[in-house]
């Protein structure tokens, strides 16, 4: 089962770009990389998913190097409402036993 490692927490300021790197050294060929956001006392919400290179949507960008052993979630110009826990997951194409891990607590300060 692929395991992910990400920083426990990071602080930022409004308007800055936040980059969260996740390590997944044992990622399998058919695994996708997915990021979720969770606010306190709510269920996580999907942010972005990718397999290789770069994926961008209206919320974030996901950078995946060629070896796919890590990935970086980039949140452009964060606001106070981006304060949340961000989880990096490596999907299993078969079995779907997702492991959320502890996530990264991002605190955006004014």
Partner 1 sequence: DGGITQSPKYLFRKEGQNVTLSCEQNLNHDAMYWYRQDPGQGLRLIYYSQIVNDFQKGDIAEGYSVSREKKESFPLTVTSAQKNPTAFYLCASSFGPDYEQYFGPGTRLTVT
Which positions touch partner 1 (CB under 8 A)? Answer: 32, 34, 36, 41-46, 49, 87, 91-103
Nearer to partner 1, 16 or 49 (CB): 49
Between 3 and 77, CB nearer to partner 1 = 3
Q: Considering beta carbons, is residue 72 or 85 the nearer one to partner 1?
A: 85
Cβ(99)–Cβ(3) below 8 Å: yes
Contacts of 67 (CB under 8 A, 6+ apart): none
- Kindly state the smallest distance separating residue 76's Cβ from partner 1, in Å: 21
Query: Strands across the sheet with 9-13, in order?
Result: 9-13, 104-109, 84-90, 33-38, 45-50
């Amino acid at each position: 089962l692929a395991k992910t490692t990400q920083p426990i927490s990071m602080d930022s300021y409004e308007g800055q770009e936040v980059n969260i790197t996740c390590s997944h050294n044992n990622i399998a060929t058919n695994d996708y990389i997915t990021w979720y956001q969770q606010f306190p006392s709510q269920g996580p919400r999907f942010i972005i998913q990718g397999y290789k290179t770069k994926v961008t949507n209206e919320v974030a960008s996901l950078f995946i190097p060629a070896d796919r052993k890590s990935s970086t979630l980039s949140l452009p110009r964060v606001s106070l409402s981006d304060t949340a826990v961000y989880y990096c997951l490596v999907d299993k194409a078969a079995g779907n036993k997702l492991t959320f891990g502890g996530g990264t607590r991002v605190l955006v300060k004014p």
